Amino acid sequence: MSTIIIHEVGLRDGLQMEKQIVPMAQKAKWVEGLIDAGVDIIQLGSFVHPAKMPQMADTDGLFSYFTERNLQDVTLSGLVLNEKGFERGLACGVEMFCMGVSASETHSQKNTGMSIADATSVVLGMARKALALRKTVQASVQSAFGCGYEGEIPASRVIHIVERYLDAGIKHISLADTAGHATPDKVEELFGTILELDDNIECACHFHNTYGLGLANTYAAMKAGVKCVESSIAGLGGCPFAKVAGGNVCTEDLVHMLQRMDLRHDINLGTLIDLAVDVSTFFGREMPGMVYKTGPILAGEIIT
């Protein structure tokens, strides 16, 4: 667990549920804070049509702004859903392309307007092009642990999609608990099976805290051998196409847990807490995260 990587998805998954548009200058300020805190990967946004999701209309501009600075200690990722989005990502300097397929036919249709089979073909085509250009590709299976519309998702369906990814040369695989249905036992079991499929596979996990199990599921994934955790500052987030939307695992809560486990002391938790407070102030409401409200347990502190 000493090599756990933090992939911050608040600027994308976190904001896609927010009706209040966040100006690009404010987003850039939050990104600067995440960079200063020492987060490993930051997802700046998704390349979707502005009319469909106005919150993501400035994704190209954000990437152009930050890629021009030639940052050395952080990777910038972007989500692409189709070929047009992929071309936009290439044009503005995306380093790491995130793409995925839902294991739920209903969620796939609501999210992309495509069946699982058609969405898989699109993703594999984009992935092959990106890999040929020596870009990093992370492919996810969404609704991997259940669906609000369909209920339980067969593990065999998830594994089949992952095998298609591996056959295409994709080694970075993420399982996303879009509906928040995962439980620690199922998480450990499914990730354990997938990690046995290929010696070079690198797994990421993406949990939503819809039913309060986000951090517990994250820990189970880490026990199974997952090296990368996707999380969102202040616990923002939720899929707008899920039946019941819940926020992501909270970044500052995750880092607090890791540091209590004597991991990732290189990340500045205080900076993350300050960011969460700023997010709360901007939206004018209390955020789902806990540590920004309670304060962290500091090393050596006596708890009474």
Residues tagged active-site: 239
What is the chain's length? 304
- State both tokens at 293: 């409200």
Closest by CA position to 178, among listed 222, 130, 211, 136: 211
Element (H, E) at 293: helix 291-294
Closest by CA position to 226, among listed 246, 196, 243, 205: 205
Rg value, the chain, Cα = 18
Q: Which residues pair with 172 in a beta bridge?
A: 138, 202
List b or e across 156-190, with b for residues whose CB sees 16 or more CB atoms inside 10 angstroms: ebbbebbebbbebebbbbbbbbbbbbbbbebbbeb
Give the CA distances from residue 303 to residues 11, 147, 215, 297, 299, in Å, rounded to whole numbers and listed in that order: 34, 40, 22, 8, 11
